[in-house]
Structure 1
Amino acid sequence: MEEKWRFKGNEELSQASAVTVRGVLNMVMENLSGDDPRPVIPLGHGDPSAFPSFRTTTLAEDAVCAAIRSAKFNGYGSTVGIPSARRAVADYLSKDLPYKLSPDDVFMTIGCTQALEAIVTVLNRPNANILLPRPGFPYYEARTGFSHFEARHFDLLPEKDWEVDLDAVESLSDENTVAMVIINPGNPCGNVFKYEHLKKVAETARKLGILVIADEVYDHLTFGSSPFVPMGVFGSIVPVVTVGSISKRWIVPGWRLGWLVTNDPHGILIKQGVVASIMGFLNISSDPATFTQGAVEQIFENTPSDFFDKIVNTLRESAEICYDRVQEIPCLTCPSKPEGSMFVMVKLNLSILDDIKDDLDFCRKLAKEESVVVLPGDAVGLKNWLRVTFAIEPSSLDDGLRRIKSFYQRHAKKQ
């Protein structure tokens, strides 16, 4: 007689994880050939920490070691973050704002992903919807989908350097819309929003009565004509929840130290119960390691400016290589030169390719034939585009793009 068990796995978790960057990249990497003697070129990831040009500063490493050896950070911390870490983040972000943040505005999280999870969970309620950018970072879709939180997508406009389609934001919004998300500097587009455009975003959100979630995990990683402007600058126009971390600017994603910050001089988020709900979420979840929190004050204070200059200059050089090499590949089009973050979106012209069905097929065959891993654009919301990472050694990037050119030449339709 067959036994009957009353439990089983949650299928929605598998469905949610399938649309993450990791899930899609794992699917692409299954096609890598073990017979290829060449090194795999990873142009689909967002973690350059393995490459010598992107080694974090020894000052940050020393700060973590000192925090551990002090024996002051071996116990549990507060669920909202230890006081020195909250104060350090408030001071760090306040340098770019027209007002000063309080430590009470800062909530420490396990990387930026927990901050995203927190604010999505806090804002979700029956019938609510949230406006997400397309293309965007698919963790938002995974998290909202799993939470049965309706996501509506507004386009970023490639012909306008990936600016937000604000008319679409207004037309998508209704009485159940609670927030919109912007990612600046842009993942996956490599764009950097200008001050005037961000102000229009703030004014639009205020008009609609929604808050802005500003994903600024790539803050200050800019190398074009547009400087980084934090959305919190416009906190007096509309409440802004900023999420960020030390992961990208310090090249330490594995340290898992992030934050959720309320930029809200008028106290609207407190009045609306959002702050209390953030605290409630953190009270029933895990908090980041206390020794990384204990190190963050020294990391902020002691990191020399030449470390940041080196990282930005390396990204600038790699972005130039990426943009120039893409121009040499007829099946790829880059609508605008990347100015920030670590990525660029390129459009795939399938009409001049043989035996390539779509962007996923392109990436699978590219991995198999050239040992180059690229993220299909469908994973970030744009079918038949590609997201290319340029945050690797410039020589490896150059090699990878030359292999993509060889792949094109082999699959180009015969004239």
Structure 2
Amino acid sequence: MIILTHDSYVGSLLLSPLAERRRSDYLPLRAHSVVTHITDPPGASELSCLSRPATPPIVRSVIDAILSLRRMDNKAYLVQMKSSGVHGKTLTGKGMLGNGFHHMSVNGSLYPTKTKSRRQRWEVKPSEMAENTLNPIRAIVDGMKLTPNPEKPMISLSIGDPTVFGNLPTDDGVLQAMKDAIDSQKYNGYAPSVGYLKSRQAVANFYSSPEAPLEAEDVILTSGCSQAIELAINVFCNPGDSILVPRPGFSLYKTLAVSMGIEVKLYNLLPEKSWEIDLQHMESLIDEKTSCLIVTNPSNPCGSVFSKEHLQKILKVASKHCVPILADEIYSDMVFPGCSCPSLASLSSDVPVLSCGGLAKRWLVPGWRMGWILIHDRNNIFGSEIRQGLVKLSQRILGACTIVQGALESILNNTPQSFYSNTISFLKSNSELCFNELSGVPGLNPIMPSGAMYLMVGIEMDHFPDFKNDVDFTERLVTEQSVFCLPASAFEYPNFFRIVVTVPEALMEEACVRIREFCQCYYRPPSCDGNDLDQ
């Protein structure tokens, strides 16, 4: 027998044993001015409720919870609701209810419900983080109708992976370093989450300079540069904070930030100035919630390289507003001859910088997933908190691949300069070929890059009335010419498309011929009506 009595006050139920309960364990009940007797007949699977009015749902939840207890201890319970606030106690055989009864009273407050109820059906849903995770590139590309022309072999200029066509292999010495690491059998176990000390020291030695010295303690090894960026955003930002991100810019920044409840504010790059930052616009976005400024140099998707003077102006804004910088410098050494690309940290006198890099692009091994964070903080603005935060965050996946770590020192110290030079020479040659070919195509405005692996092309949409936007344009280019360029809407910059310049030279030439043919078919010159003639 379970007896529930209550008066007209609002109260909360306290389940016994009293000594093991806290205020947070109180269960809310809204009382009614009736007395409810609920009987649990022996062997019955459900309650029989005799009450006027009908038992409220919350009361049913209470009864379910008590029945669960009863099934375990086979005792009877009296639930007496009062507004007196006197806590109940368990009564012995001398109690007023007799042996085996528990007396529970109410304290008169409302607290969140903590009942445990059996689910009636399966209901497994993804987390908010999963629901909020969206890759803009995938969102756009997956929605496109990419059916190539069967009469023309497909040429993909969309994937930022230098290994796709097999024409850009890594250096033989890099491969030998990996083989030696495997054969040594020294790197089959776990490493410290931040990486082996000797591997971190090798990275520190490779990137250290008099202007920005580094030690092993300033290096965190990560599973690729993407994880380095994720850790940097995580250590800087709380949900509700904001970050400043370039437009056009690498889509991963937004993917990571939005999934973590971080606001993304996009600052403009200026195509007419070789994609320099619109510093006035960037500064206007800074407020008390700004946690970090992301600077990508050299740029994906633009292929631009900022001058020393422009980098100093960026640092001046960051210093003025005390905003730390996340420098995405994965392409830092992939700069065409005639350009220089000093690291942001080497130019900073006070602004702390987390520089993210890795093996993927310069050494042409993106699948090896070896990245790093370089902590530059000459004035100790980060203190120990940011450093310890990065260590803690790195422990979530227990570190980067140990075999690559074992090969890292040899890779950094023994790769010949000729390997780097040959890669850069090829990328520059292909970029010039593409730029020169497309510069003569009506309605297209390519912008010559200075580094990285990309070239951006503007579309004068007014001259292509058959297409709604850059997505429609590039989709039709696949359908008719079997050439796939990534629409720049994926980088928050419509009416452009990005070309990856790592393809073999012959394919780049063929792709440019097809793009020209496509544009000549759909280009419409400026209209000229009578009003124009009168002016």
TM-score scaled by length of structure 1: 0.94
CA distance in 2, matches of 1:157, 1:178: 24
* Partner-residue secondary structure (3-state), 1:250: coil
Structure 1 residue 51: deviation in Å? 2.8
Equivalent residue runs for 1:229-248 within 5 Å: 229-248=342-361
Number of equivalenced pairs: 408
User: Which residue pairs with 2:104 in the alignment?
Assistant: none
One of 149, 152, 177 as aligned partner of 1:63: 177
State the one-letter code of the partner of 1:410.
C
**Could you tell me which amino acid in structure 2 is paired with residue 357 of structure 1?**
K
Q: Which residue does the alignment assign to 1:7?
A: 124
Cα distance, 1:87 vs structure 2: 0.7
Counterpart for residue 72 of structure 1: 186
SS at match of 1:242: strand
Gaps of 5+ in 1: none
Q: Percent identity?
A: 33
Q: Measured at CA, do residues 149 and 163 of structure 1 come closer, stay the same or move farther in structure 2, by a change above 3 Å?
A: same
Give the match's secondary structure for 2:295: strand
Query: How far does the alpha carbon of each residue in 1:185-214 deviate from its partner, in whole angstroms, 9 at most, with x for none?
Result: 111111111111111111210111110111
State the 1:153 CA deviation. Answer: 1.1
Report if the CA contact (8 A) 2:302-2:454 is conserved. Answer: yes
- Whichever structure has more helix as a proportion of its residues is 1
Amino acid at match of 2:298: P
Match of residue 129, structure 1, among 235, 242, 247: 242
The question of whether the paired residues in 2 share the 8 Å contact of 1:48 and 1:391 is answered with yes
Equivalent-residue separation in structure 1 for 2:129 and 2:391 (angstroms): 26
**What corresponds to 2:514 in structure 1?**
403
Deviations 1:89-138 (A, max 9, x none): 1111115x524201100000010100111111112214311111111001
In structure 1, what residue type is equivalent to 2:233? Answer: V
Residue 283, structure 1, aligned to residue 392, structure 2? no
Q: List per-residue Cα deviations over 1:339-361 (Å, max 9, x = no partner).
A: 10011221111111142111111
- Cα contact 1:182–1:212 (8 A) shared by 2: yes
1:186 is aligned, of 291, 294, 299, to 299
| Residue of structure 2 in register with 1:31 after alignment | 146
Q: Which residue of 2 aligns with 1:251?
A: 364
1:53 aligns with 2:167: yes
RMSD of equivalent CA atoms: 1.9
Deviation at residue 12 of structure 1 after TM alignment: 5.5
**Secondary structure, counterpart of 1:154 in structure 2:** strand
| C-alpha separation in 1, matches of 2:313 and 2:480 | 46
* 1:179 partner amino acid: C
Report the residue type matching 1:32 in the other structure: T
Alpha-carbon displacement from aligned partner over 1:46-98 (angstroms, at most 9, x marks no partner): 10213343111010000001001101100001100111210111111115x52
Residues 143 and 208 of structure 1, relative CA distance in 2, 3 Å threshold: same
**Does the 8 Å CA contact 2:173/2:414 hold for their aligned counterparts?**
yes
Query: Displacement of 1:234 after TM fit?
Result: 2.6
Distance change >3 Å, CA 48–CA 24, structure 1 → 2? farther
Q: Is the 8 A contact 1:236 1:264 kept in 2?
A: no
Contact 1:214 1:242 (8 Å CA) reproduced: yes
Secondary structure at 1:68 match in 2? helix
Compared CA separation, residues 13 and 24, structure 1 to 2 (3 A): farther
Structure 2: which 5+ runs fail to align? 1-119, 528-535
Q: Which amino acid aligns with 2:195?
A: G
| Pair 1:228-2:345 in alignment | no
Residue 477 of structure 2 corresponds to: 366
| 1:108/1:288 contact within 8 Å kept | yes
Q: What residue number does 1:269 align with?
A: 382
Q: Contact 2:192/2:398 (CA < 8 Å) preserved in 1?
A: no
Matches of 2:393 and 2:221, distance apart in 1: 12
Q: 1:303/1:26 Cα in 2 relative to 1: closer, same or farther (>3 Å)?
A: farther
8 Å CA contact 2:487–2:497 kept in 1: the answer is yes
Larger Rg: 2
Q: Give the TM-score taking structure 2 as reference length.
A: 0.73
Higher relative contact order (CA 8 A, sep 6+): 1
**Residue in 2 aligned with 1:144?**
257
Give yes or no for contact 2:212–2:345 (8 Å, CA) kept in 1: no
Question: 1:301-312 to 2 correspondence within 5 Å?
Answer: 301-312=413-424
Q: 2:382, 2:235 → 1: CA distance?
A: 11
Distance 1:50 1:161 in 2: 28
Kept in 2, the 8 Å contact 1:235–1:263? The answer is no
The residue type equivalent to 1:342 in the other structure is: M
Query: By how many angstroms is 1:24 displaced?
Result: 3.6
AA matched with 1:63: A
Instruction: Report the counterpart of residue 379 of structure 1 in structure 2.
Output: 490
Change (3 A) 1:224 1:307: closer
Closer/same/farther in 2, CA of residues 127 and 372 from structure 1, 3 Å limit: same
Is 1:25–1:44's contact at 8 Å kept on the other side of the alignment? Answer: no
Aligned to 2:404, the other structure's residue is in SS state helix
Question: 2 CA distance for matches of 1:411 and 1:4?
Answer: 56
Mapped to 1, the partners of 2:300 and 2:276 lie a distance apart of: 13
CA contact (8 A) 2:239 2:260 kept: no
1:394 to 2:394 alignment: no
SS in 1 for 2:134: helix
State the shift of 1:236 in Å: 2.7
| Amino acid across the alignment from 1:121 | N
Alpha-carbon distance in 1 for matches of 2:429, 2:483 = 20
- What residue in structure 1 maps to residue 329 of structure 2? 216
1:337 paired residue among 443, 448, 468 = 448
In structure 2, how many angstroms separate the alpha carbons of the residues matched to 1:23 and 1:111? 23
CA distance in 1, matches of 2:346, 2:461: 42
Q: Which amino acid aligns with 2:406?
A: G
Deviations 1:228-257 (A, max 9, x none): 211120343210100011100011100110
For the residue of structure 2 that corresponds to 1:178, the secondary structure is strand
Q: Name which of 254, 270, 276 aligns with 1:157.
A: 270
- Please list the CA deviations of residues 276-310 of structure 1 after superposition, one character each: whole Å capped at 9, or x if unmatched: 11111111224211000110100011101111111
Change in Cα spacing, 1:374 to 1:10, as seen in structure 2 (3 Å) is farther
Conserved 8 A contact 1:53-1:314: no
Counterparts of 1:25 and 1:232, CA distance in 2: 36
Change (3 A) 1:92 1:70: same
